[in-house]
Structure 1
Amino acid sequence: MNHKGHLVQKHWLFVCRRNWFGHQFVKEIKEWKEALMNNDRAAAAAKIQEYLEKQDNIPLNIAVTGESGSGKSTFVNAIRGIKNSDVGAAPTGCVETTMEVTAYPHPNFPKVTFWDLPGIGTTRFPADKYLKHVKFERFDFFIIISADRFRENDVKLAQEIHKMKKKFYFVRSKIDHNIQDEKENQRDFNEETTLKRIRDYCIQGLQQQGFEAPQVFLVSSRKLHLYDFSLLHETLERELPAHKRNINTTSESYPCCTF
């Protein structure tokens, strides 16, 4: 097989692995098939390359949401590979610091923007007005940050995202604090068992609300080498094309209602 043939095969497998089967993709497949039927592999490869470049240029807006104090801003900094003290970092602190929806572009993915949302359920942003205030429907993908226990507002956010036919990751933050607390309070402490218990608790909480296969990650934004942060980063990078594809299938405007 020559270079063009390898290119066609490589991109075909690349696309199929991501299951890109939207209306536009069906049209693209037809064009590729016609080129291959005419034994024009160069044209097929060029069309595939053009499609992939279009996908790369689709902007993706990722909302980082959750309750105040859950570590949203610290996570936004960590996922972009910067410290809280760096220039351009999202403000962090022991009091409520995010007062407005704020955009933070990803340094390695110029078309990907993380949006640091104010915390839900505070006096400034009560749950019943939160969606309308932050214009929840304008975002393409969501990361729900939750510290300590699985809370009612976490469920409400997940349900609203599902109602909009969009996707989310559920991130259980500050895991290092939980591990330290358990270590001090449990006589027969086992870190692996504790992590499994926390993970199962989050997964079961979401499953009980009708989410069949929730993606749950346990992280510490201050100890990135531990727990699931690397897995989360790899998963996000791997699934970026699928998240961008999903924009086309959820592009209709959904009314932003209150809880």
Structure 2
Amino acid sequence: MDKPFENEKVETFKKMLQTDGAAATAAKIQSYLKEQNDIPVNIGITGESGSGKSTFVNAFRGVDNKDESAAPTGCVETTAEVKAYPHPNYPNVTLWDLPGIGTTNFPAHQYLKHVGFERFDFFIIISADRFRENDVKLAKEIQKMEKKFYFVRSKIDNNMRDEERSHKDFNAEKTLQRIKQNCVQGLEKEGFKSPQVFLMSSVDLHLYDFHLLEETLERELPEHKRHALLMALPNVNLGIINKKKEALQANIPLIALTSALIAAVPVPLLSCAVDVLMLVKATTEYKVTFGLDIESLQNLALSAGVPLEDLRAVMESPLALEEINYDLIYNMLNVPMFKASTPEQKVATFLSYIPIIGIPAAMSLSFESTSKALNHFLNMLAEDAQRVFRKALGLNTSV
């Protein structure tokens, strides 16, 4: 792992420190970190009636179809108007359930105006079988306006069951290849060059092509949007959990630098109190991002058909099992691994209590202790997230 001060953003804020001072730089860092999770991402979900739009919206948001905040699902078109469904933990990421174009009286170009085309970062066009005339017309209008769109062939789990019942020589991989090839060829006949088609089951997002869609969005979204989308993605594979961990880890030097700058203020005990509060805030974010908060666990238990108690039983960290508050973090810090142990650390601790002379020592100590604590807490929660994911799928829960 890179050294903390080699972080590019840290270097930017270090330069700011020389001109703006500690207080202003600390405030700027905090503003930057907040803005990361406030960047709006708007996803338009469209397709013909019965294609599974609402089910996809719910699955992406980690919400059970029966939840009161869920998009209504059914065999007939349940979306009459544009409806926003913000992510429950990251409301800056919104999925918009759009009425099927075939259910409106608008031609494709007017349909886009009707649903508020400009607000969307990209569109997902969903079909339960082949992509039809209305899907093609809409995609061509989106293409004209130079926005991204992706074709999702939904309900693949149903197709796979039907195929397995109908063919003695059923081969899952070949069947998936054939379904995708048929979709691609049909779209190519309509004039789309190398159309991107993703096979998906909203019931089992961890199967099939959801990870390919995630990787494609990661490549094609503007950089400032990627972090916001990644935080809101459901934990459908271990790769996403690891990417979330890396993204959160990249911010640790910034949080630690803020801690160090606050330590530069010569007010007794101020830095200690602020550090603990900063750790509470950051660790709470880690817990929510990994889906270890109680609401996310309850939704996962429902969708996976696993008792909530079984999911909680595989979690080992007190951070995951208990409410994260000042007392919990303070007590976790009061263990040997977080206390000054080396001679250099002990000297820094001693010097930090000496006015003026002790300010650089206090800053160094605060930076190192905050970095160490956050990395430790992040690792604990990431490992618990992996265990919960494995348990939900009925896999070995050892990390």
Q: Note whether the superposition's TM-score is higher than 0.5.
A: yes
Quick one: which amino acid aligns to residue 142 of structure 1?
F
Going from structure 1 to structure 2, the CA distance change for 1:102 and 1:179 (only over 3 Å counts) comes to: same
How far apart are residue 170 of structure 1 and its match?
1.4
| 1:223 and 2:204 aligned | yes
Deviation by residue 1:214-257 (Cα, 9 ceiling, x = unmatched) = 33221111223322234434654675544849xxxxxxxxxxxx
Match of 1:81 among 62, 65, 68: 62
1:202 paired with 2:183, answer yes
1:167 and 2:148 correspond: yes
Q: Percent identity?
A: 68
- Give the structure 1 partner of residue 393 of structure 2: none
Which residue pairs with 1:96 in the alignment? 77
The answer as to 2:109 corresponding to 1:138 is no
Q: What is the match of residue 106 of structure 1?
A: 87
Letter in 2 for 1:151: R
**80-89 or 162-171, larger mean C-alpha shift:** 162-171
Q: Secondary structure at the match of 2:102?
A: coil
Counterpart position of 2:7: 7
SS at match of 1:83: coil
Does structure 1 conserve the Cα–Cα contact (< 8 Å) formed by 2:55 and 2:73? yes
TM-score by length of 1: 0.69
> Which segments of 5 or more consecutive residues in structure 1 lack a partner in the other structure?
13-31, 36-45, 246-259
Query: Partners of 1:205 and 1:221 in 2: how far apart?
Result: 23
Shift in Å, 1:3: 4.7
Q: Using a 3 Å threshold, how does the CA distance of structure 1 residues 244 and 226 change in structure 2: closer, same or farther?
A: closer
Contact 1:170 1:216 in 2 (8 A): yes
- Specify the code of the residue in structure 2 equivalent to 1:211: K
- 1:218–1:228 Cα contact (<8 Å) kept: yes
Alpha-carbon distance between aligned partners in 1 of 2:51 and 2:213, rounded to the nearest angstrom: 17
TM-score by length of 2: 0.47
- The answer to whether the aligner puts 1:61 opposite 2:42 as a matched pair is yes
Give the secondary structure class of the aligned counterpart of 1:121: helix
Q: CA deviation at 1:162?
A: 1.1
Identify the structure with the greater strand proportion: 1
**Contact 1:79–1:233 at 8 Å: present in 2 too?**
no
Question: Contact 2:39 / 2:224 at 8 angstroms: preserved in 1?
Answer: no
Cα 1:243/1:92, change in 2 over 3 Å? farther
Q: Which secondary structure does the structure 2 equivalent of 1:157 belong to?
A: helix
Label 1:3 to 1:152 Cα distance change in 2 as closer, same or farther (>3 A).
same
1:87/1:202 Cα in 2 relative to 1: closer, same or farther (>3 Å)? same
Give the counterpart of 2:193 among 198, 208, 211: 211
> Contact 1:137 / 1:164 at 8 angstroms: preserved in 2?
no
Counterpart of 1:120 (choices 80, 88, 101) is 101
**Conserved? CA contact 1:64–1:145, under 8 Å:** yes
Higher relative contact order structure (alpha carbons within 8 Å, sequence separation ≥ 6): 1
Compute the displacement of 1:107 (Å): 2.8
Q: Note if contact 1:101-1:115 (Cα within 8 Å) is conserved in structure 2.
A: yes
The CA deviation at 1:48 is 10
Using a 3 Å threshold, how does the CA distance of structure 1 residues 234 and 88 change in structure 2: closer, same or farther?
A: farther
Compared CA separation, residues 189 and 66, structure 1 to 2 (3 A):
same
Does residue 190 of the first structure (1) align with residue 171 of the second (2)?
yes
Moved more, 195-204 or 109-118: 195-204
**Per the alignment, do residues 147 and 57 of structure 1 end up closer, same or farther by CA in structure 2, a change over 3 Å counting?**
same
One-letter identity of the residue aligned with 2:114: H
Paired residue total: 220
Question: CA deviation digits over 1:106-131, x for unaligned, max 9?
Answer: 23433211100011112x44545533
1:127–1:153 CA contact under 8 A, matched in 2: no
Counterpart of 2:83, as a letter, is: T
1 CA distance for matches of 2:193 and 2:34?
Answer: 33
- 8 A Cα contact 1:62 1:139, kept in partner: yes
Secondary structure in 1 matching 2:160: helix
Structure 2 stretches of 5 or more lacking a match?
16-26, 227-399
Cα distance 1:151–1:181, how it changes in 2: closer, same or farther (>3 A)? same
Give the structure with the larger helix fraction. 2
Query: For the structure 1 residues 126 and 48, does the alpha-carbon distance in structure 2 shift closer, same or farther, using more than 3 Å as the test?
Result: same
Provide the secondary structure at the position in 1 that maps to 2:58: helix
